Structure 1
Amino acid sequence: MLALLSLLQTRRDWPGTLLAERLDISLRTVRRDIDRLRELGYPIAAAKGPDGGYRLGAGTELPPLLFDDEQAVALTVALQIATTTLGDGTGDAAARALTTIRQVMPSRLRHRINALQITAVERPTTRPAAPIDAAALLAISSAVQAHEILRFDYGSESTDKPPRRVEPHHVITWDGRWYLVAWDLDRSDWRTFRADRITLRIPNGPRFTPRQLPGSDVTAFVTGRFRGADEGTTSWPCKGTAILDLPAATVAHYSRDGIVEELGPDRCRLTLGSWSWPSLAAAIARFDTEITAVRPAELVDAFAHLARRFARTAAGPTPGGTC
């Protein structure tokens, strides 16, 4: 029945004989299973004719949902992310849905689902996520739950080199990518690794006693690391303000975590942070408009620094500087 339902969802109309052929069953069995799906609440319309045909339509009530194993795991990941990133009560609804799904899952699936503990540090972005193999993500998350040392090659590192050895702590999402937060045994420090660049070495290492993450909060820790902030803080190390000759709505659409204050129909004040003063000046300059009332002095100096650099670039290539 699950295979039949999956086929009905892939195209608009299905002749009965084609369904029987694809499922390797008799036409009589197709009709019987169609009737059972209707009893469960699925609105399946039948067309008369020599072969007969079936179409899955939209109903007025939500019927029982049937998922294969991979769909159940994918749904669990999505609900975990929604639980921590969606507001207005949707996050709570996602948490209740996740609890409901776990309660009705068979033991073989419940074990896999319980191993998938995902932390969404930031709200989802529109940037496409870096592709990652679902089996690899499950293996990494399982090692986190089992407190087993992971061994892996990272990025373009040669396989002739000794593998990285880490104590995995958390699997997180950040800005459309998956990351592993772990204690690097060879570097004696906390590290974040892009999961799509990890090539696991089998088997895992021995079990370990989990260390205390600095600050005891993975969201604050990762946010601070990606922002280049000092240990124990999530604030940007450099923060400044500037007045832009653009509407507040336009600036707010592109400023992400900046604070935009409307000063008039075509003027606003932008407060923004970054990991360095030159990068902050460049982030403000990208709005391509007049910029005034810049604060603090370090940001003013950064604008002057970039102006001198850009002037040299505009003057032409330096001797020997060819592309």
Structure 2
Amino acid sequence: MANTSARTLRLLSLLQTHRFWPGTELAGRLEVSMRTLRRDIDRLRELGYPVHSNRGVEGGYQLAPGGSMPPLVVDEEEAIAMVVALGGTASAFGGALSEASLSALAKVVQVLPGRLRRRAESLRAATVDAPFSQAPEVEAGVLATLAQAIRDQERVRFGYTARGGSAPGEELRRHVEPHRMVTVGRRWYLVGYDLDRQDWRSFRLDRLAEPAGTKAIFRPRDVPGGDAAAYVRAGLSRGESLRLTVSVAAPRPHVERRIGPWATIVAEEDGGCRLEIEATDPRWVAFGLAYLEAPVTLVDAPESVVRTLREWSQRLGETAATAG
């Protein structure tokens, strides 16, 4: 692929993302003549890509399936999206789906071009996933920059919009030794050592702007407790912590596949399990208990969790009653 022009790579990318391209539209996207387009199509065929063509007024081009899979042509944001999505699926679910996701993730990373492969591997190594996490939108460039800095042990500077403290809502500059990125409670966090405050901090990525490496290398420190995800959870629990104990009438393997490390699971003599759960949002507790698909008994639960379960039960019951 070394002698393949950037335009030909762009053509391949377009063919991979659209089932059928009229020739005139494809030439317009590439800003070339039809003659040049045909020459580039021939070049792809010489490289082994099965490009089918239809002649006539409605003629066009289509990348046919079959044969060996061609190298993937993706940009940085697409590569990052694939790694995040497949990695998240692998960690959030158990069994065959998790194994298939890990297998697909390994294959995707393997066929990426070298530069994108390094960035994708950096992101995978720098991220700690938590089950049932659904992070809000974060710019792909932010993820990539921080992942590389974590991999290279490089200090970073960025703007950060504080929520509380002496200047709520004001964007402050931070100087940090990044350790890991974590998804907890539907949000992305960066765990790192804040050099200005001489202490560990977690930063919400949706409040973080324009991270940049400083070319200053640091010696890694040990995160308090040795677990970045646990550190973030502990920080969140200091605000609003929900702790509950439930008994589940299902064997431990079933519960582990359904809820994973989201709770402490202890097998009981009757074949069921006892769960110790800590969370920050009663809605996620309700979702997790429903996802178990097994009879659950509340042993000890905060009133907010009980109230949410009752509201959900009533609302879902009313919805079911509308069925014909």
The TM-score bracket by the shorter chain reads 0.5 to 0.7
- AA at the equivalent of 2:55: K
Give percent identity, aligned residues only: 36
Deviations 1:121-159 (A, max 9, x none): 33554x643111122223333443243143432344557
Higher mean displacement: 185-194 or 109-118: 109-118
Partner of 1:13: 20
Provide the rounded CA distance (Å) in 1 between the counterparts of 2:258 and 2:186: 17
Q: Following TM superposition, by how much is the alpha carbon of 1:222 offset from its aligned partner in structure 2, in angstroms?
A: 1.9
2:277 to 268, 274, 278: 274
Count of matched residue pairs? 279
Structure 2 gap ranges (5+): 1-7, 308-324
Provide the rounded CA distance (Å) in 2 between the counterparts of 1:291 and 1:16: 60
Provide the rounded CA distance (Å) in 2 between the counterparts of 1:16 and 1:242: 63
Partner of 1:315: none
Partner of 1:242: 247
Distance 1:88 1:8, change over 3 A: closer
Partner of 2:31: 24
TM-score with structure 2 length normalisation?
Answer: 0.61
Greater CA radius of gyration, 1 or 2?
1
Structural RMSD (CA): 5.0
Partner of 1:182: 192
Distance 1:13 1:119, change over 3 A: same
TM-score with structure 1 length normalisation?
Answer: 0.62
Partner of 2:51: 44
1:214 paired to 2:224 = yes
Distance 1:197 1:162, change over 3 A: closer
1:105 paired to 2:105 = no
Provide the rounded CA distance (Å) in 1 between the counterparts of 2:83 and 2:187: 17
Distance 1:154 1:273, change over 3 A: farther
Structure 1 gap ranges (5+): 231-235, 311-323
Q: In 2, are the aligned partners of 1:45 and 1:57 still within 8 Å (CA)? A: yes
Distance 1:123 1:62, change over 3 A: farther
- Which is richer in helix? 2
1:137 paired to 2:143 = yes
Distance 1:40 1:123, change over 3 A: farther
Deviations 1:220-255 (A, max 9, x none): 34235415799xxxxx996744367x9999988976
SS of corresponding position for 1:183 = strand
Deviations 1:157-197 (A, max 9, x none): 55757534432222233455322111234544322222111
